[in-house]
A and B are shown apart, each in its own frame.
Chain A
Amino acid sequence: MTSLPARTARRPRVPVAPYLFILPYLLIFASFWAWPIVSSFLMSFRDSRLGPSAPLGLSNWSRLLSDESFRTALQNTLVILAIQVPLMLTLATALAVALNSRLLRAQGLFRFAFFAPLVVGTVAYSAVFRLLFNTDYGMVNRALTGLGLPAVDWLNQPVPAMTVIILAMTWRWTGYNAIILLAGLQGIREDVYEAASLDGATPAQQFWRITLPLLRPSLLFCLVLSVIGTLQLFTESSLITGSGPGNATLTLGTYLYQQGFQSFNFGYSSAIAYAVAALAAVFSAVQLRLFGRDG
């Protein structure tokens, strides 16, 4: 659905009002967004630790290439991205379709269950998940041993620690995506399905041929936001696992925070930030290419 063309208030002369309306936003936007984007780039060529910001040339950038911790953070972030985002979006799509089904009883109850995590803050749920996955006292291990399965040392081993982060994020964000997809589903007109039904299309065919193609704009929106969100993952890695064990769950976000706000190495931290931005740009371009306008 595209917006209406703005033809309402067209006047012969250049209007002043729209500029005044945009001005408050624009002032904040320019000073706290647009300029910092440029400033951060310039800073990545300087060393803030040497006096009042000494010029440094490309060494922050070349350091990125040889930095073991950066490579680990990048790899961890990409692993989480590759597993968590598809898992979550598949689940969210299935949930949205189920919640939209005319066959479903007690819709309100189910919606509440899946949308409730949406209001829990990342700090709060990180705390809850850290407690639930505690090796000695956590409910998860108690459930596992109760079923006769071995307990897992969730937070102190690399692969289980990563699993906890992925599970936690899926719990927190699936409902958020499902709500967007559900809104998209409700924009699809009922008579399209009725026509398909009369033509003898099975529910599966209706899903693949009607629902999914018409849902594509909403899915793309979810995908782009999820990818950018995951690239900036910070709270979960910082509070659930403390980016450990070792650096096993260090993300680009936690590494940027460590370099910028614990070591106060603003120049190097800016280079990391721009690496994240470059990744986000590449992913967005690929997504728009693959799922965007055509067809």
Chain B
Amino acid sequence: MSARSLPRTDGAAPSRRSRDRTARFWLHAGLVPLALLFLAPLWLMLVFSTQPESAIFSPAPPVWFGGAFLENFRGLQADTNFLRALWNSVVISTLYTLLSMVFTSLAGFAFSKYSFPGRGLLFGLILATLTIPSFVTIIPQFILVARDLHLSNTYWAVLLPTLANTIGIFYMRQAFAAVPDDLLNAARIDGAGDLRLYAQIALPIVRPALAALAILLFLGSWNDYLWPLIVLTQKDSYTMPVALGTLVGLTRVSWGGIMVGTVMATVPFLALFLALQRQFVAGIAGGAVKD
């Protein structure tokens, strides 16, 4: 929570307190309807996942839960092998998150804590590609992965091109800047090697930033659609968004099933986010998003 939410001492003039009260009223009068509007699609997604098709399309639409979740799930599973798609997503997103964290934190540490020939040039090059849309690389990536490496429909096809996570490098470089140089020098004098400085001294200090990055990386991979859609062509290799996408695109749409799929893809993260949001904002604040 920000320092601003600390209670003020009551020495302020009465006019200021009444002004605060008016401001507080209008603040909430504006935010409450907007918040409800933001929550409504999520609420309806939850409700619809538990309602039979007939209820979703009835003249009096449901706004409370029904009992058709399992029935909807069975439809979804029959249409898409959704459990298999979920499993593929779990494996890919976990591998992606772990590998990206290792790659970007190693590189971020090097860029932040070492001075070496080519550092500016390399970092500049990486920085420059951040503003290049990923569309530019998607066709050569596809040719490389599908035609040259014959990786279509494998986990590696999804993973390989996405592992070069540029934002992660910035983020980790910024996070490591907060590690005191004296600490590293002291450890070096005590005989710690470079790998130990990284793994045992610096990494534990940036753990909050690393945790925030991990959530962002996992979510990004979990929700990625276009690239998996391109390299996964067999039903059993689909990730969860690709499996869902095949249903949404159809003319005859099974909405109850789709809503079950969206709930299963979303609710675990909503819960995680609810539990972690304070640390999450703090983690972002400590990270790359400063000039």
Mask of A123-134 contacts with B, CB within 8 angstroms, 1/0:
111111111100
Residue in B113, B132, B144, B198 whose CB lies within 8 Å of A31: B144
User: Any chain B CB within 8 A of the CB of A281?
Assistant: yes
User: Any chain A CB within 8 A of the CB of B72?
Assistant: no
Mask of A215-250 contacts with B, CB within 8 angstroms, 1/0:
001101100100010011011001100100000000
Q: Which of A90-137 contact B (CB under 8 A)?
A: 95, 98, 100-105, 107-132, 136-137
Residue in B23, B140, B174 whose CB lies within 8 Å of A43: B140
Residue in B173, B181, B223 whose CB lies within 8 Å of A123: B223
Question: Across the interface, do A266 and B139 meet the contact criterion of CB distance under 8 Å?
Answer: yes
Q: Which of B92-122 contact A (CB under 8 A)?
A: 102-104, 106-107, 109-117, 119, 122
How big is chain A's contact interface, by range? 35 or more
Q: Which residues of A contact B134 (CB under 8 A)?
A: 232
Residue in B249, B259, B266 whose CB lies within 8 Å of A120: B266
Q: Closest B-chain residue to A9, C-beta based?
A: B114
User: Any chain A CB within 8 A of the CB of B244?
Assistant: yes
Question: Across the interface, do B277 and A40 meet the contact criterion of CB distance under 8 Å?
Answer: no
Q: Closest B-chain residue to A172, C-beta based?
A: B41
Question: Across the interface, do B140 and A36 meet the contact criterion of CB distance under 8 Å?
Answer: yes
Question: Across the interface, do A19 and B116 meet the contact criterion of CB distance under 8 Å?
Answer: yes
Q: Which of B169-195 contact A (CB under 8 A)?
A: 169, 173-174, 177, 181, 184-185, 188, 194-195
Question: Across the interface, do B132 and A280 meet the contact criterion of CB distance under 8 Å?
Answer: yes
Most-contacted residue by chain A among B133, B174, B248 (CB, 10 A)? B133
Question: Across the interface, do A123 and B131 meet the contact criterion of CB distance under 8 Å?
Answer: no
User: Any chain A CB within 8 A of the CB of B30?
Assistant: yes
Mask of B265-286 contacts with A, CB within 8 angstroms, 1/0:
1100110111001101100110
Q: With contacts A117-B38, A128-B41 known, is A235 near B266, CB below 8 A?
A: no
Show 27 A/B contacts (Cβ-Cβ < 8 Å), sorted by A.
A4-B177, A6-B113, A7-B181, A8-B181, A9-B115, A9-B184, A17-B110, A17-B195, A18-B119, A25-B164, A25-B169, A33-B161, A37-B129, A98-B30, A104-B31, A119-B266, A120-B262, A127-B259, A139-B61, A180-B289, A183-B284, A220-B291, A224-B131, A239-B245, A280-B131, A280-B132, A280-B133
Binding site for B on A (CB under 8 A): 1-10, 14-15, 17-19, 21-22, 24-26, 28-29, 31-37, 39-40, 43, 95, 98, 100-105, 107-132, 136-137, 139, 142, 171, 175, 179-180, 182-187, 190, 203, 217-218, 220-221, 224, 228, 231-232, 234-235, 238-239, 242, 252-253, 256-257, 260-261, 266, 269-270, 272-274, 276-277, 280-281, 284
Given contacts A113-B36, A122-B223, 13 further A-B contacts (CB under 8 A): A9-B194, A15-B116, A15-B194, A24-B106, A29-B164, A39-B143, A119-B273, A124-B244, A171-B38, A183-B281, A187-B285, A218-B289, A224-B131
